[in-house]
Structure 1
Amino acid sequence: MGSSQKGRKAMGRPSVKNQVETALKEINRIGYSKREAKQAGDSSNIHSIKYYRDVQGTAIRFAEFCREQYGIRSIYYLTEEHTKGFLQSLTGKGVSKGYLINVESHLKKLQNGMQKFSEKQGKPPVIFVGTRHIATDEREKPHDRSYSSLEIFEIGKHMSPNVHAAMQMSVHLGLRAKEVTNIRVEHIAENPNGRLQIHIVEGRGVTKGGRFRDIPVPKEYESMLRQLIQGKIPGQKILGMKEGTLRSGLKRACDKSGINSAGWHGFRHTYARQRLEELLGGRKKEGREMIERMLNNRSCGRKIDSGVRAHEKELLNMVKQVINVVHHELGHGNNRWGLVAVYMS
């Protein structure tokens, strides 16, 4: 079929937007465990609603770009040249390397969905994302996105009581904005010693990817949390707010206080750093030095424990254990060193 024929819109053919949405439905596993899927050898699907929306947005913009620039009416005629042209157009707009890396990852997911759809139709797979054009090691270096205690105090002055309560929940429990809006009374458990614990066994519709979560409630936050759940039934949401309300409330508070916003996710970064220091205890200084050595090894392509002497192994193992505790409480998998660089360095 010639290129002019490819560009023609066939009778009844759905729009490129609808084609993208249909393809992505093939890899929609929102609410199912990403970890279990990986263990089963399948990393082609999407398990997070936020990531699904991000992928869908990028994929639709890509498809519409190809329709306008190349006359493509069916996404099943896409090639690597189209991907290259899209990336070049974004580069011309001055976007960051990290943004381009994410775009390529999103388009790879679209390709996964299209391949699964093609397989159902008995058609050959379409390849338009092969070797990466932007290497992942070109991504900008991670930087500290946490809020200081003073910044949290100043921001809190300009928040409504409900948004302030949501912020405190993220700061003290490390929950994402969406998780704060979804967590229910039944997810708060009381241990035999009387201390509260966040215990989410079935996280579908609550946590990212439906992941299990177990988070000890800090002593200083217990009374506030008890007040929030008082008089509510187990299946009731603790806050019952919309995610957009939290984000707009934070933006207004940052504008009024003059604090640079690190987004709602910045509260998770605050939690991670504070929790890391708490768990390191009296070995905070040497523990942080070990983390920097480990991350430096990783950035240089060496093993994490490269250069660690025999008498330092105990410290290394303790630090790794502490890091994985924080990972677990954040809803991350073990030994995610890229995330250590983002959240704990």
Structure 2
Amino acid sequence: MRGSPYHVVTHELIPVIFQAGAKKTERIDIKHPNYGKVSSFKTMDAYKQTWIQFMFFLKEQFRISDPEKIDEEHIRDFMVYKTLEYPSKLYLARISAALGKLETALRYYTRNKYGEEKSFDFSIRQTVLDGARNLNLVADNYHDRAYEKPNILASSLAEPLHRLSAEIQWVSGGRIEAVSLIRTEQLRGYCIDPITGVTMGKIWSKEKGGREGMLMVLPSTYEWLKEHIEEHGRFKIDRQKYTTDIRRTCHNLGIKGEGSHGFRYAFAQRRMKEYMRAGHTYEQSLQAVSLELKHTRANITNHYLG
């Protein structure tokens, strides 16, 4: 099974698992041809988005484009990666459910292709989900997760390189994958922020779902990053150690830990104010900030605005 993540998911996997109008009695009857299939367009679309994200993750982290090669390690790493964003319990449960249905889709696909099912076991997803709940790595529900003083939190982190990552996040809105590995070719010099008129450093990034764009950071942050890369060849941190540092520092400061994503929330709220001060309407500001956050839909950004 080859092709882009969009092609694999849309043209190879969805056709074997989606059966519009299939009755519940058919979907729970192990002897029925529609057993385990998806009948809701809305549910299938939600699974589709997760599958595409997962396929991009496989391609970027493991250089894998064939979902038949997915194993327990890949499922575990993707689930752990998602917990680093300090998601809601409901969101992480939906990710787990989507991966469970991907297992079913792969069984149908291999049966159709080879005449018999290939064995897949993605049960590790539930183990990671349960562990995240027990260790309080997920939130109870959606809420305002922005750090009130992200600059103070960033400067208080124990590890210097974690402070640098946090500074990039709260000023630029970058995701954790954008600030955990940065190479020389991603440094793009300086520009004038058209909204604030302030000189900013530019970092090219490729994030979730393969979305590309520029991150704008303070000149002092840019120089710090540039000097580190010149000395060490690249900038790299361990994502899990970074989020652990954030959690421990939040505890020491007496504030609620929101993971690295709390910096993105803080960026979104600050940036909205900057756009509106510059004369943009709320709708224009929301759309612009959504693009800077690399969201596919502006309504996702609404969650960040508290």
- Normalised by the length of structure 1, the TM-score is 0.53
Per-residue deviation, residues 242-270 of structure 1 (Å, max 9, x unmatched): 11221121122122222210111111111
**1:101 Cα deviation from its structure 2 partner:** 3.7
**1:102 Cα deviation from its structure 2 partner:** 3.8
Residue 272 (structure 1) aligned with residue 271 (structure 2): no
Query: In terms of Rg, which structure is larger?
Result: 1
Matches within 5 A, 1:76-115: 97-98=90-91, 100-115=93-108
SS in 2 for 1:110: helix
SS in 2 for 1:213: strand
Q: Which runs of 5+ in 1 are unaligned?
A: 1-25, 61-94, 126-139, 284-314
- Residues in 2 aligned to 1:244 and 1:54: alpha-carbon distance in whole angstroms: 16
- Normalised by the length of structure 2, the TM-score is 0.59
Corresponding residue for residue 7 of structure 1: none
Corresponding residue for residue 49 of structure 1: 57
Corresponding residue for residue 299 of structure 1: none
On the 8 A contact 2:272/2:285 being kept in 1, the answer is: yes
On the 8 A contact 1:59/1:106 being kept in 2, the answer is: no
Corresponding residue for residue 226 of structure 1: 223
**1:163 Cα deviation from its structure 2 partner:** 1.4
Per-residue deviation, residues 118-162 of structure 1 (Å, max 9, x unmatched): 23213589xxxxxxxxxxxxxx8631111011x641563352222
Q: Which runs of 5+ in 2 are unaligned?
A: 15-47, 62-69, 80-87, 119-139, 193-198
- Residues in 2 aligned to 1:278 and 1:195: alpha-carbon distance in whole angstroms: 15
SS in 2 for 1:108: helix
Matches within 5 A, 1:168-317: 168-190=167-189, 195-200=200-205, 203=206, 207-215=207-215, 217-218=216-217, 221-230=218-227, 232-233=229-230, 236-237=233-234, 239-281=235-277
Structure 2 residue aligned with 1:341, among 285, 293, 302?
A: 302
On the 8 A contact 1:188/1:199 being kept in 2, the answer is: yes
Residues 325, 229 of structure 1: alpha-carbon distance in 2 compared, 3 angstrom cutoff: same
- Residues in 1 aligned to 2:204 and 2:163: alpha-carbon distance in whole angstroms: 23
On the 8 A contact 2:107/2:117 being kept in 1, the answer is: no
Residue identity over aligned pairs, in percent, reads 17
- Residues in 1 aligned to 2:107 and 2:303: alpha-carbon distance in whole angstroms: 32
On the 8 A contact 1:55/1:110 being kept in 2, the answer is: no
Residues 154, 271 of structure 1: alpha-carbon distance in 2 compared, 3 angstrom cutoff: closer
Q: Which has the larger strand fraction?
A: 2
SS in 2 for 1:47: helix
Cα RMSD, aligned residues only: 4.2
Residue 153 (structure 1) aligned with residue 152 (structure 2): yes
Name the stretch that deviates more: 227-236 or 168-177.
Answer: 227-236
Number of equivalences: 225
Instruction: Provide runs of 4+ in structure 1 moved above 4 Å.
Output: 36-42, 50-55, 57-60, 95-100, 191-195
SS in 2 for 1:156: helix
- Residues in 1 aligned to 2:78 and 2:200: alpha-carbon distance in whole angstroms: 46
